[in-house]
Structure 1
Amino acid sequence: MLLTFIAVYLFINLLIGWWASKRISNTEDFVLAGRGLSFMFSSMVTFATWFGSETMMGAPAEFIKDGFLGVIEEPFGASLCLVLVGCFYARIFYKLNILTFCDYFGLRFGKIAEYASAILMIPSYFGWIAAQLVAMGVVMQVIIGLPLSTGIWISALLVMTYTLMGGMWSISITDFLHNILLILGLIILGVILYRRIGGIENIIAQTPPGFFRIIPKDFTLKSNLEYFAAWITVGLGSIPQQDIFQRVMASKDEHTAVKSSITAGIMYLTIAMLPLFIALIAKILHPELLNADTKMIIPNMVLQHTSPFIQIVFFGALISAILSTTSGAILAPAAVIGENLIKPLFPKTSDKQLLLIIRISVVLVTFFSIWMALSRQDIFTLVGESSAFSLVSLFIPMTAGLYWKKANLTGCIASMFFGFFTWLLCNFYLYTEVPPILYGLLAGGIALFLGSFFPDKLNSSKFSANQSV
């Protein structure tokens, strides 16, 4: 019965992609759903940005080990990112009427910055997509007994197909349905387990002291810097990313973009608490599950200790979360490849040709991510390698470009270069005790400030630094 449900559920996703394809008439429809999403749809699709394998499998494993301090980056930092986007960035970017996030760098700093931002942004997605594919493969391995590689191929081709057909329209509609199933599934499972354990008092009584602390116990310089880095890795680092941009900019107007982003941040923090506490209750009720991979504590608990109905509800929710995250993550770099790398090389490219290029890029991104997923199957390694790119290279010049008139192309490129390579040096060669992203962020900030006082003869931008602010 569980296998039948999953097969039907995946087939419905393909039908939605086919239906959504009939609404695609141009590139803006494909990448930004024609900028026509209502508040409800926009909130749902933005909420689904990262609600995937990390939220449902990675974060719960960290939570049962280290409490709230182990999950600052996810979900707290992720929620912070969406709220900050709504408060400080959504309205400005929406007014620019651009297709990709990298278009902003071209408008503000010139074509060189546009190319550089695209080259830095695109690789950051491959590890993230691969991590979702590995998680989906693991789920199919646990449920059906498929080999991991087969599960990766099936899930990748499924997501690629409905993304290829309907773009952001199919992502928006499937995300809306996915989220309904996700929220209902987590609430039902949470209520059942809460009743079994006998209330919040029993949960607190069986957790170690300080488990629910939200701030470090020891206020040393090192611990505070690590704590700060955990907040900003996703909290700031994911702001300059195409998947966030395309979901927020798909709103029907700027006010909807702002409200939906803030609402999605609040939803994310609230709903992401459910898998954390489900994992904690599972640990208390079934401690033997800790002998296996802790990332699989919730799936194993559901398979071994719940009815078929609960299994259908939960695994429907888990598959929904992973599919939602993966589809948007595939479309994001594909749009940047077409709009910011290929189109500038062929200025006479028509909108129809650009749409075809982006669709071809969807296929290429998918197959490259499949290769990464098959060759490197550690979810945490894959996610970790993709998480810091945009923070150390793009966040500083993006924000400075919006809010500091003197920021120029020289400072922008210097910030990207020194931020990124300082992070690489500290992370892979020096192995610094202080989180490497802080060194990268500091180097990027200093480089932008100093570089912006040098002549900016290469800047071909027609964008006024303060026009949207």
Structure 2
Amino acid sequence: MAVDYAVIVLYLAGLLVMGWWGMRRARSKSDFLVAGRRLGPAMYSGTMAAIVLGGASTIGGVGLGYQYGLSGAWLVFTIGFGLLALSVFFSARISRLRVYTVAQMLDLRYGGSAATVSAVVMWAYTLMLAVTSTIAYATIFDVIFGIDRVAAIALGGAVVICYSALGGMWSITLTDMAQFAVQTVGVLLLLLPIAVVKAGGFAQMAAELPDDYFSPMSIGAQTVFTYVLIYSFGMLIGQDIWQRVFTARSDRVARLGGTAAGTYCLAYAVAGAVIGTAARVLHPDLADPDEAFAVIVDQALPVGLKGLVLAAALSAVMSTSSGALIACATVANNDLWARLRGRAAEARGEGAGREEVRGNRVFILLMGLAVVAVSVALNDVVEALTVAYNLLVGGLLVPILGGLLWKRGTATGALAGIAAGGVTVVASMAWNGILADEPIYYGLLASLAAHVLVSLATRPTDPAVLAAWQQRVTGAGAAGADPAGAPGAAPAAAAPAAAAGTPHATTSASAADPTAPASAPVPPPRKDTR
């Protein structure tokens, strides 16, 4: 076992080294938050796969395979489908926006309080995602080293906070690539074939298990539908996922690299379900299906390889944790704190760039400490994460996709959609139970109805705002390397309004710099010029 310990310790040390290396590249806000928007296809695909394939996909995916057989792959399948949909249909326009957060996209598209409310929901979601991942890798540390829960949370949290704060997204990207490689080798190339061979091959597995273990829908159609609503749609709007899209150096990289990552997720889903099915043959009487991963690693693998596969599980969880942490800190600093202070975009330059990096680094430290504290305080975060996901999808999915796809959507409609979806989700969870399926169904329906009806009942969005939005979406509105932070880089369509002193001037300035808080409400246009 000493060899396995050495493998894991060396892996953790390597993460810190890559964090230090990434720090040397993080010289500006763009470098720190979105890796300078310079990732090519290989790094983009690897880091995207690493962020979406966390502990639920690895340990949970094997557990579902143990419980339901091959249909246990549906959880990770829906994650892969969501990533494919994001990459094929939305990633190019998201990448062209060149913002840092989902709330900045809403501010650019709608303006007003919808962005602030969405930022609060997104912050809560990313915080709970980081908490869940922290508790998951603390459990792995407990299994590996036999240390108590609080010490395990502190140890794992210290490693993740350290390399994330050192170099921001550059450090996280480098560590994600290492984690992607370890996951691929440990789970797909080692554990999968060894588990199948130990179980006697597929013929022996089919002979010993009930037929429904090899049915694609034995997990239940309603469960699959709920997975689609929560995970596939969650992939479309999560800050942690969008922030990775922002790292792509071009639309093509975002589209093709994300498609490759989504396809990899589908293969990973099948692998996890097959490993779980093999574990059912080898160890049919486990009390908890989620124990299947650790048990089969412990019983089926030789010394050395066992440490590598445990490091693969640790990689899956830590990559999700670091991605959620930087997303949480980005929202907290650039959406919530910036609006609370009421500051406009700061002047750029080398000194300002270093100052912004320091500010974002401080917020990673603060949010990391908050994640550790909440992780220590909570015993069961499944319900808390369910609340966060239900609010995220039930409240934000319709306004975000509506902003991307429907020109008639308005700021008031977006706010109504967020409020109606959020209130309905909370009320339904109180009535039906937090873990029930109904809250997400009712929340989405209420959000859709409110967004459409209120948008149609209110004045259309200012044509100047829509023109600025359209220029940004098509990539024609950038007046510099990073329009999200370029001072005074008003899109061309909005410039005449500003120059003429019309009421649209403040809106145009906000669209030019989505990092700035929304200005005072703009009087509606005199006529609909759609």
- Shorter-chain TM-score bucket reads over 0.9
In the other structure, the counterpart of 2:312 is 317
In the other structure, the counterpart of 1:281 is 278
**Is the aligned partner of 1:294 residue 2:295?**
no
In the other structure, the counterpart of 2:153 is 152
In the other structure, the counterpart of 2:516 is none
**Is the aligned partner of 1:450 residue 2:453?**
yes
**Is the aligned partner of 1:176 residue 2:177?**
yes
1:188 to 179, 187, 190: 190
Could you tell me the TM-score, scaled by structure 2's length? Answer: 0.82
Q: 1:57 to 1:444 in 2, by over 3 A?
A: same
Shift of 1:262: 1.1
State the distance in 2 between where 1:10 and 1:452 align.
51
Shift of 1:382: 4.2
Q: Aligned with 1:49: secondary structure?
A: helix
Deviations 1:68-105 (A, max 9, x none): 54553x20111111101111111111111212222110
One-letter code aligned to 2:198: R
Deviations 1:161-196 (A, max 9, x none): 000011111111111111111111112122222222
Contact 1:339 1:354 in 2 (8 A): no
**Is the aligned partner of 1:3 residue 2:40?**
no
Tell me whether 145-154 or 351-360 shows the greater mean CA deviation: 351-360
Higher relative CO (Cα under 8 Å, sequence separation at least 6) belongs to 1
Q: 1:195 to 1:410 in 2, by over 3 A?
A: same
In the other structure, the counterpart of 1:203 is 205
Q: 1:9 to 1:434 in 2, by over 3 A?
A: closer
Contact 1:79 1:235 in 2 (8 A): yes
In the other structure, the counterpart of 2:28 is 26
Q: 1:257 to 1:294 in 2, by over 3 A?
A: same
Contact 1:113 1:412 in 2 (8 A): yes
Contact 1:410 1:456 in 2 (8 A): no
Shift of 1:376: 1.8
State the distance in 1 between where 2:259 and 2:378 align.
35
Shift of 1:18: 0.5
One-letter code aligned to 1:244: I
Q: 1:251 to 1:212 in 2, by over 3 A?
A: same
In the other structure, the counterpart of 2:427 is 425
Contact 2:4 2:308 in 1 (8 A): no
Q: Aligned with 1:239: secondary structure?
A: helix
Q: 1:387 to 1:407 in 2, by over 3 A?
A: same
State the distance in 2 between where 1:24 and 1:45 align.
17
In the other structure, the counterpart of 2:512 is none
One-letter code aligned to 2:88: C
Q: 1:258 to 1:373 in 2, by over 3 A?
A: same
**Is the aligned partner of 1:337 residue 2:332?**
yes
Q: 1:398 to 1:369 in 2, by over 3 A?
A: same
Tell me whether 317-326 or 206-215 shows the greater mean CA deviation: 206-215
2:415 to 407, 413, 416: 413
**Equivalences, count:** 461
**Is the aligned partner of 1:233 residue 2:235?**
no
2:252 to 239, 250, 255: 255
State the distance in 2 between where 1:348 and 1:90 align.
26
One-letter code aligned to 1:321: A
Which sections of structure 1, spanning at least 5 residues, go unmatched? Answer: 218-222
Q: 1:374 to 1:251 in 2, by over 3 A?
A: same
Alignment of 1:372-391 (within 5 A): 372-378=374-380, 380-391=382-393
One-letter code aligned to 1:50: V
Runs of 4+ in 1 over 6 A off after TM superposition: 457-461
Deviations 1:6-63 (A, max 9, x none): 2221111111100110001111101110011110000001111221211121222223
One-letter code aligned to 2:304: F
Tell me whether 379-388 or 42-51 shows the greater mean CA deviation: 379-388
Shift of 1:197: 2.4
State the distance in 2 between where 1:248 and 1:208 align.
42
Q: 1:18 to 1:427 in 2, by over 3 A?
A: same
In the other structure, the counterpart of 2:100 is 99
Shift of 1:213: 2.9
One-letter code aligned to 1:438: Y
Q: 1:71 to 1:184 in 2, by over 3 A?
A: closer
Q: 1:461 to 1:447 in 2, by over 3 A?
A: farther
State the distance in 2 between where 1:250 and 1:397 align.
24
State the distance in 1 between where 2:61 and 2:423 align.
29
State the distance in 2 between where 1:111 and 1:327 align.
30
Contact 1:376 1:382 in 2 (8 A): no
Contact 2:70 2:277 in 1 (8 A): no
Contact 2:110 2:461 in 1 (8 A): no
Contact 1:110 1:460 in 2 (8 A): no
Q: 1:461 to 1:393 in 2, by over 3 A?
A: farther
Identity rate, percent? 25
State the distance in 2 between where 1:457 and 1:401 align.
13
User: RMSD of aligned C-alpha atoms?
Assistant: 2.2
One-letter code aligned to 1:229: T
Shift of 1:256: 0.4
Could you tell me the TM-score, scaled by structure 1's length? Answer: 0.93
Bigger radius of gyration:
2
Q: Aligned with 1:308: secondary structure?
A: coil
Q: Aligned with 2:211: secondary structure?
A: coil
In the other structure, the counterpart of 1:326 is 321
Tell me whether 10-19 or 367-376 shows the greater mean CA deviation: 367-376
Deviations 1:295-351 (A, max 9, x none): 122212322443212212211211111111111110001111221122242225444
Q: Aligned with 2:465: secondary structure?
A: coil
Shift of 1:374: 1.4
In the other structure, the counterpart of 1:135 is 136
State the distance in 1 between where 2:144 and 2:464 align.
53
In the other structure, the counterpart of 1:220 is none
